[in-house]
Structure 1
Amino acid sequence: MNLYNIIDNSEQVSFQQAVKQGLGRGQGLFFPETITPLDNIDELLAMNLVDRSAEVLSHLIGDELSKEAIHGIVANAFTFEAPVKKVTDQISALELFHGPTLAFKDFGGRFMAQCLAQFNDDGKITILTATSGDTGAAVAHAFYGMENINVVILYPKGKISPLQEKLFCTLGGNITTVAIEGTFDDCQAMVKKAFDDQELKQAIGLNSANSINISRLLAQICYYFEAFAQLDAAQRNNLVVSVPSGNFGDLTAGLLAKALGLPIKRFIAATNENDTVPRYLAEGTWSPKPTIATLSNAMDVSQPNNWPRIEELFKVKGWSLSELGYGKLSDEETKSVLKDLDKLGYLCEPHGAIAYSELTKQLKDDETGLFLCTAHPAKFKESVEAILGRDIFIPEALASRADLDLLSKEFPVDFAKVRELLMSL
């Protein structure tokens, strides 16, 4: 698999290099040189999740890894299901929260960890990543206890849910967590700054596990195929998928699945009040505003990292951005939608509710709708219970960590302090 740097096309790397390097020169994202459509979609849809995912990823990665090696990586990473649940006669939910940290990030985080374990030549690796909520837990648990790998996770202090924080800030060991007195965008900016520091990169073997890492993105393609496989023939016709969007990795993966030949009719990018992309699609001007804290905190991103990949894909495929649906929801509207879903008998959380709402607004009578549920409602226990006025069940993965002490350090928005920490590991 050959990939190129979107910013500097002269930088071309293999899949292994892209996984180990994370970002390219000038903070450029890596993008596949070729995306050849699959010619056996029907056969793939008849397979189970692991076998199908291994085939799709082998097609993308090529002979850089053997099919047996890729199948082993996938089998170790995808040890949980991604069920499609009916919500209304026309709309279903793809539940991506059945992994160990109860969020869709488990797919990408665990696949990346398995890839690095395959590629690591016993050299020192330091994973630096920013999280707006769920990435931190998925990455921390995927890499916890791995030899020669240190993980440092930056997150905005007070801007993720208490149970999200408990899930990854109570591990210790090779996992270091830092609460930054700023926004997710501040955290992300410091991650990018670290990658521009060549001395630091070489000294600590720097890598990132954000969705900027191509391995995470490729893993996420697989659950779009899984969702499609669970739908019957009638539901597969005119399928519209609504994606709760913050850093836009999830939507990028869905669009890549479509580029590979999965016959999804169209997508909707659903955001909260941090609506840089919806405004861009409506007005044609890229004008990020200061990040606003919302109920759907994992989407509190004003400068989404993966958007350049989406624009690159649309350019390569000759698609028009006018075909991409979009919309945003306020917190008050999100609360109302959560109550509506509860009345329908479906317990959801703010991110999924936003995707559902935009789907109901834009879905046509002859279309079938699917929205992504990216995290378990219990990860947002306090807000969901307050909105619905009742208690919700806490899974063991969360309950077992709820009373543990936080081990996080607290830093201001100061790259020098983060750099010092990284060099000390």
Structure 2
Amino acid sequence: MRYLSTRGGTPALRFSEALGAGLAPDGGLYVPERLPRLDAADVAALPDDSLAATLTALLRPLLGDDPLAPQLPALCAEAAAFEIPLVPLAGRGDHLIELFHGPTAAFKDLAARFLAAALSALRPPEAPVQTVLVATSGDTGAAVGAAFHGREGFRVLILYPEGKVSPAQAHSLGAFGGNVRALRVAGTFDDCQRLAKQALADAALRAGRPLLTANSISLGRLLPQMGWYAMHALRFQRRHGRRLNFIIPSGNLGNALAALMARAMGLPLGEVLLATNANPTLAEFAAGAPYRGRDAIPTLANAMDVGAPSNFERLRWLAGGDEAAARALVQVRRIDDARIRATVASAGARHGIAPCPHTACGLAALEDLRAAGDTRDWAVAATAHASKFLDVVGPLLAHAPAMPPAFAALLARPARAERIEADYAALRAAI
């Protein structure tokens, strides 16, 4: 299996080469030269007894003869060392996939751990220190920090938008120390993402200081997220004889794209609906407007405050380059802050849970489907634990949710972040 740029201007690379490169030299994102298509017999043979087993089987054809292929079972076992349960909700046919059981209580943990393990396996002992650059709207940075913290041969630079992440998120980003450094950028997440891309495209900089990316533009972050959708789709169909549909809170489009890729490979996923916040880019595109990136709008679901989702290029690739076909792949529902508040406040009585603001977007979309008479089985992806957003959800809930122990331990550490302007010269100097 080889990987090409979405923009078509670079030579084909093996998986491990594309993993190290991150962004393609022409500015595009790496994608498989062809997406493997599993027939009915292949799907029937896929294991569903554990996330690690499902993920290993799913990624095997995507690695092919790559040097990492023999280590794939160990990499997946290290990444998926915690449960990702499908939890029934109070409503008939309503479910929640709890993606927040990793060390930083967010869905980013599994893929960040896979990426760190893979890059560690690829790094020769005598290689120079590699800098992992990550832009975050809140959760990605902590997951990457946790995955790489203390790993020999790596340093991490986390870029996050100053004042636009929750207090718990901000503290966690600066709490690692050691080989992990946090930078508060005076701007938006899109500014952070732009700066990171500029650095990755700076050949002169990379010649003197090896750079890697840990954002969802990295294949190592994108592909492992197929695992939980594949596992639960297989289990559900085998136990109930019908397909499970998915609602995925979405900002930068990586997690949702992983579900769409798993479905395109032949896994029995039903419909995929994206639940966004007030940022209009994806909703307007799905409604028929040309794709148009723009500045992000700050919302209560801050990790989804993205105005120009990087993975849109991969969505268009998955649709064969045709925007009309890309629209046909997904539905999009846009949820504003008032609706997020109302959904969080009612979730205890209605669903028996306390959701984070992003998960609340998914639950609101589910409520809209039920109000319109949809009786199918739907699973909402719960992307983070509510305790990470007590500034938002705390006043809306009768009882504050207990913080997961691993994340509580992270918050007990002292934290430090350096402020930089949203200017490439400032980032280049920091690197």
TM class by smaller structure: over 0.9
Structure 2 equivalent of residue 2 of structure 1: 2
The one of 404, 419, 422 aligned to 1:410: 419
1:327 aligns with 2:336: no
Aligned residues of 2:341 and 2:396 also touching (Cα < 8 A): yes
Shift in alpha-carbon separation, 1:362–1:403, aligned structure 2, 3 A: same
Aligned residues of 2:386 and 2:393 also touching (Cα < 8 A): yes
Q: Map 1:11-410 to 2 at 5 A.
A: 11-39=11-39, 40-65=42-67, 68-87=70-89, 88-122=91-125, 123=127, 124-231=129-236, 233=238, 235=240, 237-315=242-320, 319=325, 321-343=327-349, 344-362=351-369, 365-410=374-419
Q: Secondary structure at the match of 2:269?
A: coil
* Equivalent AA in structure 1 for residue 53 of structure 2: D
Given the two structures, how large is their TM-score scaled by the length of structure 1? 0.95
Given the two structures, how large is their TM-score scaled by the length of structure 2? 0.93
- Further displaced range: 136-145 or 362-371: 362-371
Q: Deviations over 1:244-300 (max 9, x none)?
A: 001000011000100111122211111101120111121322233431111111000
* Equivalent AA in structure 2 for residue 32 of structure 1: P
Q: Secondary structure at the match of 2:31?
A: strand
The one of 403, 410, 428 aligned to 1:419: 428
Q: Secondary structure at the match of 1:265?
A: strand
Distance 2:8 2:241 in 1: 39
Distance 1:347 1:293 in 2: 22
Aligned residues of 1:273 and 1:292 also touching (Cα < 8 A): yes
Aligned residues of 2:93 and 2:375 also touching (Cα < 8 A): no
* Equivalent AA in structure 2 for residue 335 of structure 1: R
Q: Secondary structure at the match of 1:386?
A: helix
Q: Secondary structure at the match of 2:124?
A: coil
Q: Name stretches of at least 5 consecutive residues in structure 2 with no aligned partner.
A: none
* Equivalent AA in structure 2 for residue 305 of structure 1: S
Q: How many pairs are equivalent?
A: 422
Distance 2:134 2:97 in 1: 26
Aligned residues of 2:94 and 2:379 also touching (Cα < 8 A): yes
Q: Secondary structure at the match of 1:31?
A: strand
Q: Secondary structure at the match of 2:192?
A: helix
Q: Deviations over 1:319-356 (max 9, x none)?
A: 55234111111111011111222113122111111012
Structure 1 residue 240: Cα displacement:
1.8
- Further displaced range: 227-236 or 306-315: 227-236
Aligned residues of 2:355 and 2:386 also touching (Cα < 8 A): yes
Shift in alpha-carbon separation, 1:150–1:46, aligned structure 2, 3 A: closer
Distance 1:148 1:289 in 2: 37
- Further displaced range: 364-373 or 292-301: 364-373
Aligned residues of 1:45 and 1:52 also touching (Cα < 8 A): yes
Q: Secondary structure at the match of 1:17?
A: helix
- Further displaced range: 120-129 or 368-377: 120-129
Distance 1:240 1:78 in 2: 23
Q: Secondary structure at the match of 1:378?
A: helix
Aligned residues of 1:85 and 1:93 also touching (Cα < 8 A): yes
Structure 1 runs (4+) deviating above 6 angstroms are none
Distance 1:78 1:135 in 2: 17
Aligned residues of 1:54 and 1:67 also touching (Cα < 8 A): no
- Further displaced range: 42-51 or 142-151: 42-51
Structure 1 residue 236: Cα displacement:
5.7
Distance 2:243 2:234 in 1: 15
Structure 1 residue 54: Cα displacement:
1.0
Structure 1 residue 56: Cα displacement:
1.1
Distance 1:253 1:341 in 2: 27
Q: Secondary structure at the match of 1:27?
A: coil
Aligned residues of 1:268 and 1:359 also touching (Cα < 8 A): no
Q: Secondary structure at the match of 2:54?
A: helix
Percent sequence identity over aligned pairs: 33
Q: Deviations over 1:206-249 (max 9, x none)?
A: 11000000111111111111222442646562432111001000
* Equivalent AA in structure 2 for residue 338 of structure 1: V
Distance 1:323 1:220 in 2: 18
Distance 1:172 1:411 in 2: 18
* Equivalent AA in structure 2 for residue 187 of structure 1: C
Distance 2:53 2:47 in 1: 10
Aligned residues of 1:7 and 1:26 also touching (Cα < 8 A): yes
* Equivalent AA in structure 1 for residue 131 of structure 2: T
- Further displaced range: 138-147 or 335-344: 335-344
Shift in alpha-carbon separation, 1:127–1:236, aligned structure 2, 3 A: farther
Structure 1 residue 316: Cα displacement:
6.9
Structure 1 residue 107: Cα displacement:
1.1
